[in-house]
Amino acid sequence: MTNKKKEVVKQKLPNANTAKSGSKTQNQSSGSNRYYLLQLFVFTFIIYGNTLWNDYALDDGIVITQNQFVQKGFAGIADILTHDSFSGWQKNANSDVAGGRYRPLSLVSFAIEHSMFGNNPRASHLINVLLYAIIGIVIFIFLKRLLIDEPTKYSYLSHLPFLTALIFIAHPIHTEAVANIKGRDEILSLLFSIIASIYFLKFIDDGKKIKSIIFGSLFLFLGLLSKENAITFFLIIPLMLFFFRNGNIKTILPVLVSIIISTGIYLFLRQTFSNTSINKEVTDLMNNPFFGMSASQKYATIIYTFGKYLWLLILPLHLTSDYYPYQISIHEFSSIGTILSLVICMVLVVTAFIQLSKKTIFSFSVIYFAVTLSVVSNLVFPVGTFMSERFLFMPSLAFCLLFAYFINLIPYYKFNSFPFSKSEISPKIIAADFFGMRNIQIILILICGAYSIKTIARNTDWKNNFTLFSAAVINSPNSAMSHHAIASELRKKGESSINKKVQLDYYKQSIAADEQSITIHPEFAQAYYNIGVTYLLMEDVSAAEKSFRKTISIAPNYADALNNLGHCFMRENKLDSAIILSTSASKIDTTYFRPYSTLGAIYLKKMDLEKSHYFFYMANKLEPNDATSKKMLDDLNEIIRSSN
């Protein structure tokens, strides 16, 4: 660095002689801010506009089309607010996955949409894109306030808010949260958490007005109602005040108390309305990917996923919706991937703590990333999968902030002039047109251009389940679930085809895909069950029976498999055995209509019209929309009337 004395400009408070020029500068800044906000809004729709033509996909059925509370519209909101978030989809909401889910806010929004638009994926996608655009704007506003140097009111990193928001919007890792309608819980959780942070900053900056702390508490509570991840802001908000407002215990205490109240109310509601058995052991590999691993293997694999997350943020290639076993393979602490990941994480954490006293952007970003990722990392409690791209939605803000920070430093490198304090800055940098600099333009075009192209392309994968799972098989070839998922979609395509040859071809492809999933996970009961269903559709009852028997040997309480094996026995005229199996299925889940429908068919075949009528009546009562049960019940009613 040159030994020449640096010229500096020290920001001073405006006096009477400078008031007029100060007012003009404020107006120019306000106009510039509006221009930035408009750019962020338009940019969001440019890269996510193609999602408006997408259908429902992946978990959208759980929270929308197959959720009985959401399908009631406004009438279902009370149930949504007083039940576990999966209760509207299945009665035993938490039987497969440890821990409950109390995330009513996104479901309430889906219920309102259903009342207004019906099951309209285009409307839901539009709202997701709008909310994502708002997040970009809110990130900009948040960072503009956060990065103010209080003694001088001078934003020492004036371009950082826009750059961060721009990179955040463009980053392809967010496609899962935005292009998948169900991802709205991620969007709302981060949105409300950032708004809460803005109000807590206002509380400190504007003379500790009670209104600001009330609004901050309210928005944090809304963030928690959106998704549990917002609980990490219990630490992030005090950390933010420590880093950027020189907060001490006395300053932070009122904020901390309000956060504790908001969090306490949420945890009480969660305890009341959801299953909170977080540490319940789950023995299904598809819902507990660490099942059967040693403790050493488990934690080595978790550490490996940290490195994988960082790599996806830097180079978001081969994105997938599927990280089920064994797309992420079992790792040991001697594995190269685990060692490399551990070294990188240790370097980042140690550097962050070394810089803690200096309160650097780097230190804050690393700690923010670690805290927000912790709750979905499998370190604190199991989350049901090795990793997921949507889990990066909240933590990725730290990466975007740090990335933008390094870009923002380019003029300092160019002019060889780094500020020694936040109130000192080279006049050359003030005079420079940041976005007019050729190297800045090239960097932004390369980064945002590449990210945007990848995002637009990835959005097309989310068009529907078939396109999504087809992409997953390519990008997650070692996942048993990806092959099973595409097998189910291939079977559905066969069912909808009227061409027998095409239909048979789809069925064969479906069986082959499920057989591939069984190669990866030999005890995959769902895959064997799916093969059995496909063989039934092919009228190969013997092969179907074999598959259902294998399913039951793995999962004895698999109600559908028991019932379908009963159906096979009925087709083979083993009626008494069929009755035993379908009755067993009905006892496993007394609210499920299919075993009753099968029993109705069996007793009809035995010419026991009274019992047949009873079971078809029960099936129709449990599921009034099932056309087969309704028709059989109507036919039996007609026969009974005629006989009388």
**CATH code of residue 628:** 1.25.40.10
- Residue 30 has what pLDDT? 65
Residue 619 lies in a domain: yes
Kindly tell me if the per-residue pLDDT of 594 is higher than 80: yes
Domain C-terminal end among 255, 277, 299: 277
CB 570 within 8 A of CB 562: no
CB 290 within 8 A of CB 301: yes
d(CA 64, CA 88): 9
Q: Kindly state whether residues 256 and 348 are assigned to the same domain.
A: no
Closest CA to 425 of 152, 48, 227: 152
d(CA 591, CA 643): 32
Q: Considering the entire predicted model, what is its pTM? A: 0.90
Residue 70 lies in a domain: no
Across all residues in the chain, what is the average pLDDT?
A: 88
Residue 617 lies in a domain: yes
3-state secondary structure of 133: helix
- Residue 33 has what pLDDT? 84
Residue 558 lies in a domain: no
Query: pLDDT for 170-187, tens place per residue?
Result: 999 999 999 999 999 999
Q: What is the mean pLDDT of residues 215-230?
A: 96
Residue 554 lies in a domain: no
Q: Kindly state whether residues 310 and 404 are assigned to the same domain.
A: yes
Which tokens hold the place of 323? 């990280």
Closest CA to 240 of 403, 363, 106: 363
Query: pLDDT for 269-278, tens place per residue?
Result: 999 998 765 5
Whole-angstrom CA distances from 270 to 76, 85, 186, 487 are 18, 10, 18, 36
Query: pLDDT for 293-331, tens place per residue?
Result: 999 999 999 999 999 999 999 999 999 999 999 999 999
Residue 344 lies in a domain: yes
Q: Kindly state whether residues 291 and 392 are assigned to the same domain.
A: yes
Domain C-terminal end among 348, 383, 408: 408
CB 186 within 8 A of CB 390: yes
Q: Kindly state whether residues 249 and 311 are assigned to the same domain.
A: no
CB 326 within 8 A of CB 480: yes
Q: Kindly state whether residues 295 and 391 are assigned to the same domain.
A: yes
Higher pLDDT: 590 or 46? It is 46
Residue 440 lies in a domain: no
Helices (H) and strands (E) in the chain, counts: 29, 2
Which tokens hold the place of 12? 């001073």
- Residue 278 has what pLDDT? 55
Closest CA to 141 of 22, 23, 33: 33
Q: How many domains does the chain have?
A: 3
Q: Kindly state whether residues 262 and 313 are assigned to the same domain.
A: no
Kindly tell me if the per-residue pLDDT of 620 is higher than 70: yes
Kindly tell me if the per-residue pLDDT of 289 is higher than 70: yes
Kindly tell me if the per-residue pLDDT of 235 is higher than 90: yes
Please provide the DSSP assignment of 581-614 as one string: HHHHHHHH-TT-SHHHHHHHHHHHHTT-HHHHHH
Domain boundaries, position 247:
181-277
- Residue 4 has what pLDDT? 39
| Helices of type H across 355-479 | 361-374, 396-408, 410-415, 427-431, 438-461, 465-475
Domain C-terminal end among 408, 430, 454: 408
| pLDDT tier at 236, thresholds 50, 70, 90 | very high
- Residue 441 has what pLDDT? 85
Residue 380 lies in a domain: yes
Query: pLDDT for 426-452, tens place per residue?
Result: 555 554 567 777 888 888 999 999 999
Query: pLDDT for 55-107, tens place per residue?
Result: 999 999 999 999 999 999 999 999 999 999 888 886 444 455 555 789 999 99
Q: Kindly state whether residues 205 and 261 are assigned to the same domain.
A: yes
- Residue 148 has what pLDDT? 74
Q: Phi and psi (nearest 5°) for 526? A: -60, -35
CA angle 261, 245, 409 (to 5 degrees): 125
- Residue 450 has what pLDDT? 96
Closest CA to 372 of 619, 186, 248: 186
Please provide the DSSP assignment of 463-479 as one string: TSHHHHHHHHHHH-TT-
Quote the percentage of the chain above a pLDDT of 90: 74
Give the position of tokens 């978990």. Answer: 59
- Residue 185 has what pLDDT? 97
Closest CA to 381 of 239, 276, 309, 227: 276
Q: Give 134: exposed, middle or buried? Use CB within 10 Å, 0-12, 13-18, 19+.
A: middle
d(CA 146, CA 61): 39
Give Cβ neighbours of residue 606 (< 8 Å, ≥ 6 apart): 575
Kindly tell me if the per-residue pLDDT of 10 is higher than 80: no
- Residue 17 has what pLDDT? 46
Which tokens hold the place of 644? 């009388």
Q: Kindly state whether residues 273 and 292 are assigned to the same domain.
A: no
Kindly tell me if the per-residue pLDDT of 580 is higher than 50: yes
Peptide linkage before 266 cis (omega within 30 of 0): no
Q: Kindly state whether residues 303 and 369 are assigned to the same domain.
A: yes
- Residue 635 has what pLDDT? 87
Q: What is the mean pLDDT of residues 139-163?
A: 77
Q: Kindly state whether residues 215 and 185 are assigned to the same domain.
A: yes
Q: Kindly state whether residues 298 and 204 are assigned to the same domain.
A: no
Quote the percentage of the chain above a pLDDT of 70: 88
Q: Kindly state whether residues 314 and 398 are assigned to the same domain.
A: yes
Query: pLDDT for 194-204, tens place per residue?
Result: 999 999 999 99
- Residue 149 has what pLDDT? 56
Q: How many CB atoms lie within 10 A of CB 437?
A: 14
